[in-house]
Amino acid sequence: MEKFTQLTGVAAPMPAINIDTDKIFPAIHLRTIKRTGLSKHLFEEIRFRPDGSENPDFVLNQGPYRQTRIIVAGDNFGCGSSREHAPWALTDFGIRCVIAPSFADIFYNNCFKNGLLPIALPQAEVDKLMDDAKKGANAVLTIDLDKQTISRPDGEIVHFDIDPFRKQCMLNGLDDIGLTEQKAADISTYEAKARTQRPWVFGMTEKAGA
């Protein structure tokens, strides 16, 4: 996973609430076996017109927002399906941080696996950053994960909270599976115990009938 330490870039305003994963990455394009190159379908239905041309009203098609690195969004961002294609498409576009009052749980988890930092802040703080994000070429924010700060264009610092375990994984670009494999002995011990306590759940799918 790509590390996340500091990020300075253009923030785009997306004030709508409940921006769902079908909107971020339409289901029809889930028919891929790859995780790269997905930004071409990012926000497809609102980003492009039916004839394939760009919709000039959509923020990511406008001037400096073509270089968006940060999205400032409304409540419950990423609700809907578990598709990791949503964070894959966002990061492929160059977006490494989403700031919103809240996130849907599965999307939130998926972000951390892909070096995409989701920052949840109270509505009033998001409102201030939303105003900043509307400043076009001046809509530049700096995120410092280690210090847990967002620097606004006027220099004001906004602090954010983050789970310390996830923070360390992001800062160091740690591979979760590698970390878990270090606990192989614990897993084996658990399995041996569970086999005696709940033997009927072992070997289930290998029984006849599949």
> Which residue ranges make up the site for other proteins (CB under 8 A)?
15-18, 20, 22-23, 26-28, 30-35, 45, 50, 74-76, 79-84, 87, 102-106, 109-110, 113-114, 163-166, 168, 176-177, 179-181, 183, 186-187, 190-191, 194, 197-210
By beta-carbon proximity to other proteins, the closer residue of 10 and 41 is 41
The distance of closest approach from Cβ of residue 94 to other proteins in the complex, given in angstroms and rounded to an integer, is: 20
**Six token digits for residue 38:** 């997905």
By beta-carbon proximity to other proteins, the closer residue of 173 and 202 is 202
The distance of closest approach from Cβ of residue 62 to other proteins in the complex, given in angstroms and rounded to an integer, is: 19
The distance of closest approach from Cβ of residue 86 to other proteins in the complex, given in angstroms and rounded to an integer, is: 9
- The backbone torsions φ and ψ at residue 77, rounded to the nearest 5 degrees and listed phi first, read -65, 140
In contact, 170 and 143? CB cutoff 8 Å? no
| Cα–Cα distance for residue pair 88/63, rounded to 1 Å | 23
The distance of closest approach from Cβ of residue 142 to other proteins in the complex, given in angstroms and rounded to an integer, is: 26
Which residue type sits at 56? Answer: P
Within 10 A of 16 (CB to CB), how many other CB atoms are there?
12
Q: Where are the beta strands (DSSP E) in 36-89?
A: 68-73
